[in-house]
Amino acid sequence: MRQVLTQGVQRLNEGLSVLIFPEGTRVPPGERRRYNKSGTVIACRAGVPVLPVAHNAGERWPGRHWVKNPGLLNVVVGEPIATEGRTPEEVLVEVEAWIEARLGEISEVPRPEAPAPGRQRSVRSTS
């Protein structure tokens, strides 16, 4: 994980984009997973905003399955979320709220209010 954080910051400092899926993969319809803060840690360390994206690909392209279901995917790109002067945890709260609100608008299957209980690996946010 340390290498991902270091290289993510380096790539952003080089002017490249870094894509992080905070739930780790496409989530099956009607499910929700905990959001990992690694993306917001990288953005805060690099001093760049987070560009939130919400999509309902899990409804058409189930994770770990070769078969894809026909239909339209909805993708919504939000306004950049500032990281300056904020902790990764603060930024993650805003990112998650934005994504979940958009998913509520574009998903065919309702999402739970909170993720199912379970383990989540922690990421240190020290700069």
- For the entire predicted model, the pTM comes to 0.83
Out of 13-27, 64-78, 81-95, pick the least confident: 64-78
If you average pLDDT over every residue of the chain, what do you get?
Answer: 87
Q: What is the mean predicted confidence (pLDDT) over 86-97?
A: 98
Whether residue 18 lies inside any domain: the answer is yes
Whether residue 126 lies inside any domain: the answer is no
Give the 3-state DSSP-derived string for the chain, with helices as H, strands as E and coil as C. CHHHHHHHHHHHHCCCCCCCCCCCCCCCCCCCCCCCCHHHHHHHHHCCCECCEEECHHHCCCCCCCCCCCCCCCEEECCCECCCCCCHHHHHHHHHHHHHHHHHHHCCCCCCCCCCCCCCCCCCCCC
Domain span at 36: 2-106
Whether residue 111 lies inside any domain: the answer is no
Whether residue 117 lies inside any domain: the answer is no
Total domains present in the chain: 1
Whether residue 26 lies inside any domain: the answer is yes
Q: What is the pLDDT of residue 119?
A: 46
